[in-house]
Amino acid sequence: MSYVSTLRRGRGRFGFTLVELLVVIGIIAVLISMLLPALNRAREQARSTKCLSNVRQLAIATIQYCNSNKGVFPLQGSSGGGANWIAWDQVPNEDNIADPSYIDNSALQPYLGPRADALKAVLRCESDDVNVRPRQVEPKLYRYSYSMNTALTRPDRFKGEPFYYTGPAGNKPLRIAQVRNSSDKIMFVEEDSKTLDDGSWSPYILDMTTSPPKFMNPATGGPMAAFDPASTSSIANQLADRHEAAKDKYNPMGRSNVSFVDGHAEFYSRVDAGMQQHTDPLYR
């Protein structure tokens, strides 16, 4: 036997057959399919953590704003600037640095620090497509992810039972010192994109005696449509559940990032957000 043929036979011992290659590729594909969901969950968890930090920053900035403004909360976040906690309007107005709706004119900007695009990043969740808002159409879209509890900024909207506000009508926010049990009272929420259309979160009361639970309007006592943007009835401003990995019996409706009047933030249940003791600032 020649040296060349011996060398060729020796080299052949180190090769792979087509079947062996297919088996290896199949194993790699299975491993990737098992790892991808875990990687996606980890990525979403990181986004949720960053989002939680954002709503906490908003709460801390609001407390600082109140300390500088005789304890009064900023306004609800309608379009425009002024005392509204966030400045926004339709494009191209909100991108015009000379327009009152430009983001730097937000009442909370001096207490948050960043400006322009850096400020916009604090007000947006990376998992939220801010250019898709079912309840709005271009060019007037609310291109941010968070909204503020309207019971703090416009308490006169909740003069009816069961809310406890009995003060005058008109756009007159409460003072932070009036809020009872501040660690239990919601200030900012990451709102569901299906209902998000401005910087105001109108709290609802959740009737858990029905299946599915009913969303009740605390100002009227009547039912509210939960998600249907085409509905002519009031729409419950729902919390987002985009970060929820798996719903269970303890969180059947999912959870979202929420901050409270005392400045802390939590990954919070939609069910708990529908309890009056967490949304009514004067709840006894």
Give the DSSP H/E element, type plus range, for residue 178: none
pLDDT confidence of residue 13: 55
Whether residue 85 is predicted with pLDDT greater than 90 in this model: the reply is yes
Largest Cα–Cα distance of the chain, in whole Å? 107
Q: Which residues pair with 189 in a beta bridge?
A: 147, 258
CA distance 10 to 190: 65
Task: Check residues 221 and 139 and name the one with the higher pLDDT.
Answer: 139
φ, ψ (nearest 5 deg) of residue 239: -75, 145
Give, rounded to a whole angstrom, the gap between the first and last alpha carbons of the chain: 99
CA distance 248 to 196: 25
Task: Check residues 26 and 5 and name the one with the higher pLDDT.
Answer: 26
pLDDT confidence of residue 55: 97
Instruction: Kindly give, in sequence order, each residue whose CB lies less than 8 Å from that of residue 113, ignoring residues fewer than 6 positions away.
Output: none
Task: Check residues 15 and 22 and name the one with the higher pLDDT.
Answer: 22
Q: What is the mean pLDDT of the chain?
A: 87
Confidence of residue 11 (pLDDT cuts 50, 70, 90): low
Confidence of residue 2 (pLDDT cuts 50, 70, 90): low
* CB-based contact 81:34 (threshold 8 Å): no
CA distance 66 to 13: 78
Type of residue at 224: M
- 49-58, 72-81, 93-102, 178-187 — which is least confidently predicted? 72-81
pLDDT confidence of residue 163: 87
Whether residue 10 is predicted with pLDDT greater than 70 in this model: the reply is no
Confidence of residue 111 (pLDDT cuts 50, 70, 90): very high
CA distance 214 to 80: 34
pLDDT confidence of residue 29: 83
Give pTM, 2 decimals: 0.85
pLDDT tens string 190-243: 999 999 999 999 888 888 888 888 888 877 778 888 777 677 677 888 899 899
Confidence of residue 58 (pLDDT cuts 50, 70, 90): very high
Q: Which residues pair with 28 in a beta bridge?
A: none
Q: Which residues pair with 265 in a beta bridge?
A: 259
Task: Check residues 162 and 7 and name the one with the higher pLDDT.
Answer: 162
* CB-based contact 196:147 (threshold 8 Å): yes
Whether residue 149 is predicted with pLDDT greater than 80 in this model: the reply is yes
The full DSSP string for 2-33 is: -HHHHHHHHHHTT---HHHHHHHHHHHHHHHH
Q: Which long-range contacts (CB under 8 A, 24 or more apart) does 129-134 make?
A: 129/193, 132/193, 133/193, 133/196, 133/197, 134/193, 134/194, 134/229
CA distance 187 to 55: 9
Confidence of residue 8 (pLDDT cuts 50, 70, 90): low
Whether residue 166 is predicted with pLDDT greater than 60 in this model: the reply is yes
CA distance 238 to 124: 17
Task: Check residues 26 and 121 and name the one with the higher pLDDT.
Answer: 121
The candidate with the shortest Cα–Cα distance to 255, out of 242, 269, 245, is 269
Task: Check residues 50 and 225 and name the one with the higher pLDDT.
Answer: 50
